[in-house]
Amino acid sequence: MILAILPLITFFIPGIILSASAQNVTVGSNNTSQITFGGGAGDASICKIDPDGKVSPGQPGCYNAPSMCTSSVAMGQSADGFASWKFKGSALYITALLDSESPEFTVTIDGNSTDADGARPGTIPFDCFTLFSTAGLDPNVEHTVNLTIKGPSPNRNMTFQPSTIFSLVNYTYTTSDGTNTTTTSTSSGSSPSPSSSTTGNNSAALEHAQVPGILSAFVLATIALMSMV
């Protein structure tokens, strides 16, 4: 009889070991089930490079990014180019193919617009850079993003005419997957559900939410022991 109680106690121990785990999800520019493009922006090719380091002939319209930092990229020649998408997560990182002439972009998240200068002085030809990043967003809400061009960068290489070349390589967002993977128990019906937490700090909320479940397990075990005496 007493042996039958021991598994009940150990069963609850993993509940405090598990915690919320953040995860990064990256979506490539070619994933058109996730991203809507407009204003002429869309899938573009990166120039293949000969062994001698020169762009191979016969690749009209390719973009010269000899670092080969990405296999997929979306580019656009017009100031109207944009990409929009939705994501559910707490942080967002946008990667683009940029050079010394790249324009200033505007990143609008849920109607809140932030300018992100794409010019990377000294970079010729293109290479991959983080264009924009933000954190501290509500991880439980679906956010809407629009990446647009504001205009020529004030920090661009003034040797050239102003250009407004749109670019998106990929974006990464941070989810808090796994917050629901804690053990649920038949005997802890009074334990509050972790998913009812609306605070930003899921790991802390989770630990607190699990404590009553652990305590009630020991109470139940104690009651069971006493009733057997």
Ligand X SMILES: *[C@@H]1O[C@H](CO)[C@@H](O)[C@H](O)[C@H]1NC(C)=O
Residues in touch with ligand X (CB under 6 A) = 22-28, 30-31, 33-34, 38, 69-72, 82, 84, 93, 95, 100, 112, 114, 121-122, 124, 128, 134, 144, 146, 148, 157, 159, 169-170, 172, 174, 177, 180, 195, 201, 203-204
| Cross-strand partners of 112 | 109
Q: Which CB sits closer to ligand X, 112 or 222?
A: 112
* Angstrom distances, CA of residue 157 to CA of 77, 78, 161, 168, 197: 17, 19, 9, 21, 50
Cβ of residue 60: shortest distance to ligand X, in angstroms? 21
Write phi, then psi, for 68 (nearest 5 degrees): 55, 45
Q: Which CB sits closer to ligand X, 12 or 95?
A: 95
What does the angle CA 68 – CA 69 – CA 71 come to, to the nearest 5 degrees?
Answer: 75
| Cross-strand partners of 170 | 28, 95
Crossing angle of helices 2-12/202-228, nearest 10°? Answer: 170
Q: Which CB sits closer to ligand X, 12 or 173?
A: 173
Cβ of residue 159: shortest distance to ligand X, in angstroms? 4
**Per-residue tokens: 2:** 């007493």
Cβ of residue 220: shortest distance to ligand X, in angstroms? 25
Q: Which CB sits closer to ligand X, 163 or 224?
A: 163
Residues 127/165, Cβ–Cβ less than 8 Å: no
Q: Which CB sits closer to ligand X, 82 or 105?
A: 82
Q: Which CB sits closer to ligand X, 174 or 191?
A: 174
Cβ of residue 176: shortest distance to ligand X, in angstroms? 8
CA distance 22 to 190: 27
Q: Which CB sits closer to ligand X, 83 or 217?
A: 83
